[in-house]
Structures are given as structure tokens and as C-alpha cells.
Chain A
Amino acid sequence: MATTTAPKSPTSTKSARAAKSGANNRRWALIFAGAAILVFVFYQYLLPHLDQSVKSVFDSWLPISTLEESLVWIICAIGLNIVVGYAGLLDLGYVAFWAIGGYTAGWLMSSFFNNVDFSFFGVIPPQPGGIHINFWIVLVIAAAFCALWGVIIGAPTLRLKGDYLAIVTLGFGEIIPQVFYNGDCIGPACWNVSNGTQGIYPVDSMNAPKILPGMKGATLGIFDQPYKYIFFCLVAALCVFVSLRIREGRLGRAWLAIREDELAASMMGVPLMRTKLAAYAVGAAMGGFGGVIFAEYVGGVVPDRFNFSISITLLAMVVLGGMGNVWGVMVGALVLAWINATGLKQIGVTFNQVFHTSINFPANNYLLFGGILVLMMLFRRAGLFPEMRTKAVLEEDEVADDAGGTHLSDPEEVTA
């Protein structure tokens, strides 16, 4: 080992890699922000004045409601990415947090609890009763509530690893929607906490500051979709911002270390439980955002929207986009959400028209998802836009798989 001290490295300048990833983040942020503003301007100010035929094309192929739904998926996928992509914990029950967030909105923004009459800067409907709290406050409450549930669910399950963890999270992902499904008569007193299969409907419109020209008022109902869209975008942007900032800091490094080598991380003073719980809580909080926004988008909460396939679709989005890379995950979520909501249906309609067939495309969407995932694993294992550090590894692996390169940290070998 060298006994001479190497010349002092430039400590004040940022590392080249950090600078590069910073530039990369700025570029992506600009692309997404630009696209979001463009879409808004187009749908709000241009489309209504365009020809009917153009309008119908956009209405069928890319309605603004699909974009809004995509934003819900994007927010949840970013949350799941923290758990799966950053900390490397396979979570198959993420829908639980989406559901809890949705029902939080249902409880706090509707006439559901009609025996109380409480409002706090909320949108109060004509009929009395219920709790009506301001949308933005509910957003914060739901995030906190979901984070709490993330910890409650995580505390017993995070002691498990890998496949076992996946199975247990899958269980929780089933239990929580079932609780809401059967929640119209809980306990001996037969409390109604969720209205059972009927769900909670309607949920109050959202309140938004009147910041844009032409906004009808400070309350956005289901028909003010382009305006809602811009606020949904802001929430998604917040999730991206939080993800990126945490990733660069102390906690993000600890998550990465756990993903790379759990044992070594614990030996280097990283408390495994706390760090994993933090990942769960942050991920769950974003699921809470997604839930509230979904309730706002649909105008209510219905339990059969929260099924297992949502967890799987979210996971597919994360994998397709590129685990660990927020931007890739956003692209993955956009693509799959669009295919799910309109793309497949429209492709089917066109296909059937051209070939005079009558194949039901949307009914086979999981076939398509399965196909996409298999192709991904064959040709682009790291996703469409992999994280820089993973990309380097995977590319090298393909080149030098048997060239005898030093492979670090075999997870199979338990100890020194």
C-alpha cells in the first residue's frame, strides 16, 4: 500500500459525476415541465377553437382525462420507485397506500360522516353534514396518514427479505382493500367506515387558487379538467423533487447501500430497520398523494378500483421505465397508463376497422403487459431509461460477463 499521501483532491469543486447527473436532471425536468405546459395550453386555449375532426381525434386518442389518470399513476409509480428502485425492497402491495389515501379523501372531503358538520376552508355542498376540509390540507393529512400506515405495515414485514417480503406485502395489499370493501359494518357496533361496495361518492371538488386567466372560480369540479391537470402536475413535480433531493442526501445513500449489500451496510452503521421504514414511509406518503388525487379525479372512491392488478401495473411501470431513475419511471408510467386507459382501446378500434375483425383488445391488456415485460427482460433489462449507475453495470456485464472481471459482493456469501 502506498505510504505517500496523494495530492489533495479538489474538495471545493463538485465531482464530475454529480455535475453530470445534475445536468441530466435539469434537462429531464425541463422536458417534462415544457411538455406539461404545452399540453395545458393546447387543451385549454387551442383545442376548443380547432376543427371538429381534429377535436375528435384528440378526444379519442388522448383525452385530457387520460393524462390526468396518468398523473395519478406517475405519482404512485414515483412513490413505489422509492421502495423498489431506491431501497431495493420488493413491494407487491403498494395499492394499499393508494387506497388509504383515497379513503382519507373520502372521509375528509365528503358528506360521508353526515352526523358531524365540520368544514375547514373546504368546498361545502348544498346539503348539510359531513366533513369538508380543504383539498390541499387533505393532501398533507393523507400523506402523513399513509406514511404512518407505511410504518405500521413495514415494522413487522421489513424483517423479512426478498421473496418473503414480497409475499407478505402482497398480503397487505389484499387485506387493506378488503377492509374497505367490507367496511360498511365493522365491529359489534356495526360502524360504517367505508360504505362497503358502494364507496364514498361524491367527493368534494378541489379548491385551487385562481391563478390562471379564464379560471371559472376557486373550485374545480369534474368539468374543469385542464385546470385540475395543472395542479395534478404540480403534485407530481413535488414528488419528483422530493425523490431527487432525498436520493442525493444521507438517507438516499443509505437506501442505495442497503440495495447493494444489506449486510455491509449494517456493518457500516446504517440502521437497517429505520432506513427501510423511512423508504416505506416516504413511498407510502406519495401513494397517499396519488390516492387523494385519484379520488379527486374520479369524484369518489370505490373499493373495487383498488385491486391487486394495480400493484402489479405500478411495478411494471417502474421496471419498464428503469428502476431507480425517476424520469424513466415517469415515462414508463405515462406509456403504460396511456395504453391501459385509451391506447389499447383505440388501437383495437383502428385494427378492427382496417381488418374487419372484432377482437376485444382491452380485454387482453395483461397479455400485452406480459409480452412487454418479457421483451424488456430479453433486450433491455435495466428499463427504457436506466439509472446511470445501473446502466454502467449492466453494459459492462454484457461485455465482460466471463472475462473474469472482479465481481463485488456476492449476496450468497453471508459473511466474511
Chain B
Amino acid sequence: MAISAAQPVTTEDLALSAQRITVKFGGLVAVNDVTFDIPDKGIVSLIGPNGAGKTTFFNVLTGLYAPSAGTVTLDGQNITAMAPHKIAKLGMGRTFQNIRLFATMTAEENVLVAMHSHTKAGITSTVLRLPSQRREERESSDAALELLDFVGIGKRYDEYARNLSYGDQRRLEIARALALRPKVLLLDEPTAGMNPQESAAFVGFVHRVRDEKEVSILLIEHDMSVVMRVSERVTVMDRGEKISEGTPDEVRNDQRVVEAYLGRTGTEGSAR
């Protein structure tokens, strides 16, 4: 399997491209020379055992950490070590593993916050409620309600985020991320806490998001059944390094992946 060097794609076809990312915390190398691409309108997954460096890598993409080496390109623009809000504005939406909504804001307001970078009403026009500001507010509100409908919580638009059920909070996070009009949507363990039926429905939902909102999607996921069904391509990390990449089937049968997950002892007999 010579997939680990999936180079021949030109950058124009890539929604996001991370080249040779290395992140060091003091002496600890959390991410070591990882190259990773998200094809345009693709759905890809990043998996790996705990402590593999997935989240660190994620944080480099969203601008939370500056990589020690390497570059990140979003839709042809270099976004390495750019401030998170600028990256968000350029088209990177994300959700959080442990839900991070604005708890005392309503569902609608949560989505409206994410429209900040696409709206421009200033202090004066807000205080005077100029027509331009009123129009902008109305359009934002309409767009927000539409997004809430899209994720299936349109009726609860006026509810405080903290009062929503767990599943609805997850949906709201996705609606909020979509409000950025992202080119790339990063979902961090989106099915955590979901039951098997919900997870199964989620697979369909991810495809619908990709098709209707025309975004490229990257998931970090632990639920293998979800990963295998939803992803077009899977990348596996272990101990800060990319150990495998390919279609779900290819990855499933990769000896290094099995070792990373089950440990060497489990496969000792056949490996040596």
C-alpha cells in the first residue's frame, strides 16, 4: 500500500492541505512530520488511539497552536499560525469534542455569533438602527433559522443552548459551524455520547451536509462503524505520526493500524 505518500493531487483540488506538520511541546514531539490533505467536497476521517496527537493536529489546523514546522493551506491560502478568528473567517468551521456552545444564549443567537465575520454593522449603525443594520439583522436571523431547520432544531430556535437536549446541542454546534459558511468543516468526535441508532442516522446527516452545504468534512472519530461507513478516506495517527492512509478497507487491513490499536503482542505470532 503506497498510499501514505498521496501526492499527485494538485493543490487546486484540495480544500485543505497540511504539509509536514510538526508540533513540539518542549522536548515532546506531539505531532511529527504529518502531511494531510482534505480533497474538495471530500469526507475524511482522522483516527488513532488516545494520545496519538489527533487533537493537537486539529488545533494546528484551526490556528490554536502554531506548528513548530510545516504549513497549512486552506483553499489555496496559507493559514499557518494565523489567528483562529481569521482562519474561521476564511472558511473553517469546527465543533468541539466536549460541546462548547454559548450556554446562556439562545440557539438562534449562537448561530448569529458565528455570522460575525460575514456581517459588518458597527456601533453607530447599531445604536441608530440604520436601515442597513436592520436589513443585515433580518437577513442574518433568516439565515440562522434556516440553518437550525437544516440540522432539525428549527422549532427550538428561541431556547437557551443550555436547555437543549444533548443531541440537539450537538446539532446546534454543527449549525453554528455552518454559519461561518465554511469550506472545511471539522467535526471533533461528533458521535460521542450517541446511541447506535443516532450514530447510524449521523452518517446520512454528514453526507447531506456535504452535498447541500458543499463543504469538505474532516472527522475525528472513535466509533469505527461510523468511520468506516462515512469516510471516503481514513488517516491513522499513532504517537504523533501518520502510520496509514487510504480507503476504509485499506486501512482496516493495514497491519500497522491493527498493531497500533491492539498492541504488538496481540499479533505477535503472525507478525514475526
A256→B160 CA distance, assembly (Å): 13
Q: In the complex, which residues of chain A have a beta carbon less than 8 angstroms from the beta carbon of B99?
A: 406, 408-409
Given known A15-B106, A266-B85, A415-B59, contact A408–B158 (CB-CB < 8 A): no
A264→B102 CA distance, assembly (Å): 8
Contact of A389 among B104, B121, B152, B157 (CB under 8 A): B104
Q: In the complex, which residues of chain B have a beta carbon less than 8 angstroms from the beta carbon of A241?
A: 127
A284→B171 CA distance, assembly (Å): 39
A9→B167 CA distance, assembly (Å): 20
For residue B145, CB closer than 8 A to chain A, the reply is: yes
For residue A246, CB closer than 8 A to chain B, the reply is: yes
Q: How far is the CB of A143 from chain B (nearest CB, A)?
A: 12
* Beta-carbon contact of A409 and B100 below 8 Å: yes
Query: In residues 87-110 of chain B, which contact A (Cβ within 8 Å)?
Result: 88-89, 94, 96-106, 108-109
For residue A176, CB closer than 8 A to chain B, the reply is: no
Q: In the complex, which residues of chain A have a beta carbon less than 8 angstroms from the beta carbon of B84?
A: 266-267
* Beta-carbon contact of B113 and A268 below 8 Å: yes
Query: In residues 228-275 of chain A, which contact B (Cβ within 8 Å)?
Result: 241-242, 245-246, 248-254, 256-257, 260-261, 263-272
For residue A7, CB closer than 8 A to chain B, the reply is: yes
Contact of A8 among B105, B136, B149 (CB under 8 A): B149
Instruction: Name the CB-closest residue of A to B151.
Output: A1
Interface size on B, residues (CB 8 A): 76
Q: In the complex, which residues of chain B have a beta carbon less than 8 angstroms from the beta carbon of A256?
A: 102, 104-105, 109, 113
Binds A, one of B31-39, B200-208, B243-251: B200-208
A246→B125 CA distance, assembly (Å): 9
* Beta-carbon contact of B150 and A17 below 8 Å: no
* Beta-carbon contact of A416 and B85 below 8 Å: no
For residue B137, CB closer than 8 A to chain A, the reply is: yes
Given known A17-B106, A250-B121, A408-B101, contact A416–B180 (CB-CB < 8 A): no
Scoring A residues 1 to 44 as 1 if CB is less than 8 Å from chain B, else 0, what string do you get?
11111111101000111000000000000000000000000000
Of B97, B113, B179, the most chain A CB neighbours within 10 A belong to B113
* Beta-carbon contact of B201 and A1 below 8 Å: yes
Of A8, A257, A271, A416, the most chain B CB neighbours within 10 A belong to A416
Contact of A406 among B105, B116, B136, B169 (CB under 8 A): B169
A164→B199 CA distance, assembly (Å): 43
A282→B127 CA distance, assembly (Å): 12
A16→B126 CA distance, assembly (Å): 21
Given known A268-B116, A416-B59, contact A261–B126 (CB-CB < 8 A): no
Instruction: Name the CB-closest residue of A to B99.
Output: A408
Please classify how large the interface on chain A is, using the bins under 10, 10 to 19, 20 to 34, 35 or more.
35 or more
Q: In the complex, which residues of chain B have a beta carbon less than 8 angstroms from the beta carbon of A249?
A: 121, 126, 133, 137
Q: In the complex, which residues of chain B have a beta carbon less than 8 angstroms from the beta carbon of A409?
A: 98-103
Q: How far is the CB of B85 from chain A (nearest CB, A)?
A: 5
Contact of A268 among B108, B121, B176 (CB under 8 A): B176
Q: In the complex, which residues of chain B have a beta carbon less than 8 angstroms from the beta carbon of A245?
A: 126-127, 129
Scoring B residues 73 to 93 as 1 if CB is less than 8 Å from chain A, else 0, what string do you get?
000000000011110110000
For residue A392, CB closer than 8 A to chain B, the reply is: yes
A254→B116 CA distance, assembly (Å): 7
Of B114, B118, B204, the most chain A CB neighbours within 10 A belong to B114
Instruction: Name the CB-closest residue of B to A278.
Output: B123
A123→B109 CA distance, assembly (Å): 48
Given known A5-B150, A245-B127, A254-B116, contact A416–B58 (CB-CB < 8 A): yes
Scoring B residues 173 to 211 as 1 if CB is less than 8 Å from chain A, else 0, what string do you get?
000110110000000110000000010011011001000
Q: In the complex, which residues of chain A have a beta carbon less than 8 angstroms from the beta carbon of B153?
A: 6
Contact of B169 among A265, A270, A408 (CB under 8 A): A408
Between-chain CB contacts (< 8 Å), 20 pairs:
A8-B145, A15-B106, A17-B106, A245-B127, A246-B123, A250-B126, A251-B126, A256-B105, A257-B102, A267-B85, A268-B85, A268-B179, A268-B180, A270-B117, A392-B104, A392-B163, A409-B98, A409-B103, A415-B64, A416-B96
- Which residues of B are interface residues toward A (Cβ below 8 A)? 55, 58-59, 62, 64, 83-86, 88-89, 94, 96-106, 108-109, 112-114, 116-119, 121-123, 126-127, 129, 133, 136-137, 140-142, 145, 148-155, 157-158, 160-163, 166-167, 169, 171, 176-177, 179-180, 188-189, 198, 201-202, 204-205, 208, 220
